[in-house]
């Protein structure tokens, strides 16, 4: 598909509609009517439908200004991606998306702005709570469920923020300097997978620049890659205020500016002055018209009402499966419902269930842990509550500490709710630390001294430092931000009515200084270097043997599992293919029903480029009753084994032995199998700048360079059998051989290239 054809994929009816409009009307379609509505043109039958924020629920603004973030219609607040990503359950995510789509129908919202699949490059990122993972495979394969679920209801999604929006500091203008390989392997694959498999009806471009060009004006990104390479035929909109040059953006492939800024006349002038081809404007406007047509049936479903209780049940399931059990010494959890329990921490009463900024939802219900415990019949005769601390910046109140210690003393178990207050992480700024507030750690010290059976329950949107205090807790539960049903979901897990089945979608480092991006975080003087390249998260920690508090993919269960019978073969037994099939047997060896999350990592052979020691390429979450077993299987496509070759400007699979690891986290490998792949054979033709070593290993160039050097060594007494000489020659471009032999550079190049071309043609190759 050519780039130009890719841009014209709007339907013929949409194209015909636009062609009949005036130039001014065409221009108006490429910017909104107001902050939350598309532009309509009544005489052409184009309706100005509403679009609103997501991504973990519907934030329908109550007026047409974008400033009223906390004033929105009631909706179900599902767990933000920080929590939901830890479910490792795409089917559950799809159910969440379906429910979100149903709510959009009731509220007459044509497009919900999400999901956001930007990579968690650094734990300090202020919007980490909205994003899925440090790993692009997990992010793409989970978040695709939101797109599929919402759009199954006839409502559009907006996959965001495209691309390399990985920090809040200076986010409106910062220039993200990212290598082509890091872009292709880390920052683009989640978008690519969702575009190719789920077909989101819109994408939203990021605020930032990418290698010097604003995302909204980046033709390479929006047209060459998105539409040309990936075949995307949907609509691209700007983030709110990210379009700074309407003409440049339209030329790049941006269909819609949001919100409008009164610059339609500049678009008209751009066409009249030749800076913008009217056919390009037509293509961009037609994309908006086609979106209108896709969403119209759902928007005309009058009288529809979703089931609030049913959606709350979905939110509860999502919250329950998002909880990660990190530590459970002596089987302290689950809590016996007959135990005397001290519940300490304001978060148990005042839940932190979502992050701040444009994703802030007005929940139609809200459960705290204390309320959920009461619904399970655990009343004041068994449960003693003490707030422990306040959620502001005030110093710790000794009276609150004293009451917490009194509650803890003599109790069978302490559930200590700690976490980050709402003003610690939000859209608009990055965090400065991953530490918990000092007064909460002070409280932990006092409570742990009074009762050894402490289970810490965390509420946070991105990782917090655990290593400094984890020895003072017998159990640690990572509760993330769990949406409106978070209290109920936590109660289900803590009291054992559900298995602890969440797994980390983000590594938890010992210290923030251990993160590989810190040396360049958050940048300087308007730019940020992505100097860590592809070594993000576990790719760095595992490759370089760095100790972490808890690894990517980690999480305990209330039961135990065994993985065996691991096998891997080239797909269909075809020795020429670079794909593989993997299988393993998993058995629940414990006494409770539970979920096993089986993860597949691919470890490459020794490579010509620096590659991570392994990368996630498959996962499945399997429910097994006590004693039950199941065989899980995975199909790994060619991309599972490839890296992005900057030299080839393409994906490349090297020949060799690939180790396929079946694991329960990136550090807990149950076993492995090996496949030998032939590679894809891709290579660049040799030239005068190719090294002696590259000529030597090339099947066509090898004999040519061998013959030349044999003749040269006979005349010039070159010691080709000398190891030191061989090492020197290995990295020497052949156009520099003249320094060693008595032949001019032009003659060397002519001789080598002539011989190379003859052999190339004789082998039937096409250069």
Active-site amino acid positions: 239
CB contact at 8 A, 509 and 344: no
Name the strands in the sheet holding 527-529, side by side, starting at the edge strand that comes first in the sequence: 213-214, 209-210, 175-177, 527-529
Q: Would you tell me how many other CB atoms lie within 10 Å of the CB of residue 720?
A: 12
According to DSSP, the residues that pair with 458 across neighbouring strands are: 418, 478
- Residue whose C-alpha is closest to residue 132's, from 187, 185, 85, 200: 85
CB contact at 8 A, 570 and 636: no
Q: Alpha helices of 420-570 — where are they, by DSSP H?
A: 438-450, 486-494, 538-543
Query: How many CA atoms, within 13 angstroms, populate the side-chain half-sphere of residue 504?
Result: 30
Cα 540 to Cα 43, 504, 534, 614: the distances in Å are 58, 16, 8, 10
CB contact at 8 A, 616 and 665: no
**From start to end of 97-174, where are the E strands?**
109-113, 156-162
| Three-state DSSP state, 529 | strand
Write out the two tokens for 449: 């001294």
Residue located via tokens 């929105």: 72
Helix or strand (DSSP H, E) at 650: strand 650-652
| Three-state DSSP state, 526 | coil
Q: What angle do CA 598, 81, 502 make, to 5 degrees?
A: 35
Residues 6 or more apart in contact with residue 80 via CB below 8 angstroms? 55, 56, 129, 130, 354, 355, 359, 461, 480, 481, 483
Look up residue 542 and give its DSSP letter: H
Cα 282 to Cα 156, 233, 523, 597: the distances in Å are 22, 14, 39, 48
Write out the two tokens for 386: 């003490």
Look up residue 686 and give its DSSP letter: P
Write out the two tokens for 581: 């099939």
Residue located via tokens 């065996």: 564
Residues 6 or more apart in contact with residue 338 via CB below 8 angstroms? 382
Write out the two tokens for 675: 């496949």
Residue located via tokens 């990782």: 463
Phi and psi at 414, nearest 5°, equal -115, 125
Distance of alpha carbon 313 from alpha carbon 317, whole angstroms: 6
| Three-state DSSP state, 609 | coil
Q: What angle do CA 436, 439, 445 make, to 5 degrees?
A: 90
Helix or strand (DSSP H, E) at 415: strand 413-419
Q: What angle do CA 645, 650, 652 make, to 5 degrees?
A: 60
Q: Alpha helices of 327-437 — where are they, by DSSP H?
A: 369-375, 398-408
Pairing of strands 615-624, 629-636: unpaired
Helix or strand (DSSP H, E) at 597: strand 594-603
CB contact at 8 A, 362 and 72: yes
Cα 15 to Cα 3, 68, 252: the distances in Å are 18, 36, 19
**Peptide bond before residue 143 is cis, with ω within 30 degrees of 0:** no
Phi and psi at 581, nearest 5°, equal -115, 135
Q: Alpha helices of 652-738 — where are they, by DSSP H?
A: 692-697, 701-716, 723-730
């Amino acid at each position: 598909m050519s780039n130009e054809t890719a841009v014209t994929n709007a339907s013929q009816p949409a194209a015909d509609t636009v062609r009949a409009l005036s130039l001014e009307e065409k221009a108006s379609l490429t910017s909104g009517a107001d902050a939350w509505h598309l532009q309509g043109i009544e005489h052409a039958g184009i309706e100005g439908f509403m679009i609103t924020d997501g991504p973990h629920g519907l934030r329908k603004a109550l007026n047409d200004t974008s400033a009223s973030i906390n004033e929105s219609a009631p909706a179900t607040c599902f767990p933000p991606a920080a929590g939901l990503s830890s479910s490792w359950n795409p089917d559950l995510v799809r159910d969440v998306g379906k429910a979100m789509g149903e709510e959009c129908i009731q509220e007459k919202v044509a497009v919900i702005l999400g999901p956001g699949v930007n990579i968690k490059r650094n734990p300090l990122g202020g919007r980490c709570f909205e994003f899925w993972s440090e790993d692009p495979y997990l992010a793409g394969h989970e978040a695709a469920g939101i797109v599929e679920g919402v759009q199954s209801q006839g409502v559009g999604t907006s996959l965001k923020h495209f691309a390399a929006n990985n920090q809040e500091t200076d986010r409106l203008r910062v220039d993200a300097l990212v290598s082509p390989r890091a872009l292709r392997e880390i920052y683009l694959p989640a978008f690519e997978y969702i575009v190719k498999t789920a077909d989101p009806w819109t994408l939203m471009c990021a605020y930032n620049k990418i290698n010097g060009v604003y995302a909204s004006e980046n033709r390479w990104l929006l047209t060459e890659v998105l539409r040309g390479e990936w075949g995307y035929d949907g609509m691209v909109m700007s983030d709110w205020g990210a379009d700074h040059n309407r003409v440049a953006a339209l030329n790049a492939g941006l269909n819609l500016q949001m919100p409008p800024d009164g610059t339609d006349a500049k678009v008209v002038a751009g066409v009249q002055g030749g800076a913008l081809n009217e056919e390009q404007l037509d293509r961009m406007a037609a994309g908006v018209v086609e979106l209108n047509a896709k969403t119209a049936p759902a928007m005309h479903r009058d009288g529809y009402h979703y089931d609030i209780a049913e959606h709350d049940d979905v939110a509860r399931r999502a919250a329950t499966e998002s909880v990660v059990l990190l530590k459970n010494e002596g089987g302290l959890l689950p809590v016996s419902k007959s135990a005397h329990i001290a519940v300490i921490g304001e978060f148990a009463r005042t839940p932190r269930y979502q992050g701040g900024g444009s994703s802030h939802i007005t929940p139609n219900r809200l459960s705290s842990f204390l309320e959920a415990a009461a619904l399970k019949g655990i009343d004041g005769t068994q449960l003693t509550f003490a707030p422990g601390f306040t959620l502001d910046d005030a110093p710790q109140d000794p009276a609150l500490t004293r009451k917490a210690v009194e509650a803890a003393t003599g109790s069978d178990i302490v559930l200590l709710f700690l976490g980050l207050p709402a003003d610690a992480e939000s859209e608009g700024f990055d965090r400065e630390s991953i530490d918990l507030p000092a007064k909460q750690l002070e409280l932990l010290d006092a409570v742990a001294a009074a009762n050894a059976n402490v289970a810490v329950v965390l509420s946070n949107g991105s990782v917090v430092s655990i290593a400094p205090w984890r020895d003072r807790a017998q159990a640690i539960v990572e509760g993330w931000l769990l949406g409106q049903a978070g209290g109920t979901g936590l109660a289900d897990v803590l009291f054992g009515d559900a298995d602890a089945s969440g797994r980390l979608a983000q590594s938890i480092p010992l210290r923030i200084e251990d993160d590989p991006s810190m040396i360049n975080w958050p940048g300087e003087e308007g730019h940020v270097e992505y100097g860590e390249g592809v070594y993000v998260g576990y790719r760095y920690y595992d490759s370089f043997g760095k100790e972490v508090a808890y690894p990517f993919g980690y999480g305990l269960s209330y039961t135990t599992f065994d993985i065996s019978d691991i096998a891997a073969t080239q797909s269909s037994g075809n020795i020429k293919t670079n794909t593989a099939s993997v299988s393993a047997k998993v058995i629940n060896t414990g006494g409770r029903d539970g979920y096993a999350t089986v993860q597949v990592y691919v470890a490459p052979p020794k490579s010509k480029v620096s590659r991570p020691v392994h990368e996630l390429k498959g996962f499945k979450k399997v429910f097994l009753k006590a004693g039950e077993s199941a065989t899980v299987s995975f199909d790994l496509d060619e991309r599972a084994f490839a890296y992005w070759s900057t030299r080839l400007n393409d994906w490349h699979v090297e020949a060799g032995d690939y180790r396929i690891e079946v694991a329960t986290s990136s550090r807990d490998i149950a076993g492995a199998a090996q496949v030998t792949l032939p590679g894809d054979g891709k290579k660049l033709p040799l030239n005068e700048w190719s090294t002696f070593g590259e000529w030597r290993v090339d099947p066509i160039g090898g004999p040519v360079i061998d013959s030349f050097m044999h003749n040269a060594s006979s005349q010039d007494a070159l010691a080709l059998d000398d190891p030191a000489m061989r090492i020197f020659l290995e990295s020497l471009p052949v156009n520099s051989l003249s320094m060693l032999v008595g032949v001019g550079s032009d003659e060397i190049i002519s001789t080598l290239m002539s011989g190379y071309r003859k052999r190339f043609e004789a082998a039937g190759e096409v250069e």
